[in-house]
Amino acid sequence: HFIMPNTGEEVYIPDGVAHFLEHKMFEQPDGTNSLDTLMALGIDANAYTTNDHTAYLFECTDNFYEGLDELIDYVQHPYFTEENVEKEKGIIGQEIGMYDDDPGWQLYMNAMDCMYKENPIKIDIAGTVESISKITPDVLYKCYNTFYNPANMTMVVCGDFEPEKLLEEIKKNIRNKSVISCFKTKIEYVSTFFDCGNDRNKGSGVIMKIEGTREEIAWVKEAIKNSCSRRPFLESCNKQAKEEGA
């Protein structure tokens, strides 16, 4: 559960909400799906949820800026209705059933249950069929409005591009223009270039973190250095786990 920052309301949420929210972020009011839009551009796109963050990512060789615009757009425009939420419950229910039949996953979850008495890390990310049945559009909007904001996000981009052009494109697509004032002071501190160590993989990269400690920023830099690629790669996620990719 959490406290709504604007109202002070204490909100209790069913298990599996973060994962459910990840599934629903691609759907748009005009009936399109942003995942399909990215794939139609020849872009390999995906998303995932862990115990402490959700990530939306893509990689490509062409149409990078079109993909970037689409990603920034859909993570800022949630669209939840009674109909599409009910439809998703069936899809995620099947996914839960698949993991219920996976011996390795069951071994992992039982081990977590034995090791932790109260810590929420023991809760299955997808929840249960019973818990997701309690998810409503109102619950999703409350979670989105609390956690999906630039101050709670990290954007990582690496590849052969012009950093200043990239930053202008990002600023242009930020819905809440008041957060752009955060960019200037942070960009000066975290902008950097990476040389992957050989001619085939040389490129430039920039890391933008609207809020973060020196330790967090240093960790993200090191993670990017360890995963240099010839292809532009973008990952936007909430609360990067320091253990992930380190």
The residues assigned a catalytic role are 22
Q: How far apart are CA 4 and CA 53, in angstroms?
A: 19
Q: How far apart are CA 152 and CA 209, in angstroms?
A: 9
Asked if 143 contacts 152 with a C-beta cutoff of 8 angstroms, the reply is: no
Q: Which residues contact 11 (CB under 8 A, 6 or more apart)?
A: 1, 2, 3, 4, 139, 142, 143, 146
The one-character DSSP state at 29 is T
Asked if 241 contacts 50 with a C-beta cutoff of 8 angstroms, the reply is: yes
Asked if 16 contacts 92 with a C-beta cutoff of 8 angstroms, the reply is: yes
Using the CB atoms, write b or e for 94-133: b if 16+ within 10 Å: eebeeeeeeeeeeeebeeeeeeeeeeeebbbbbbebebbe
**Which of 147, 208, 37, 126 shows the shortest CA–CA distance to 45?**
37
Three-state SS for 160? coil
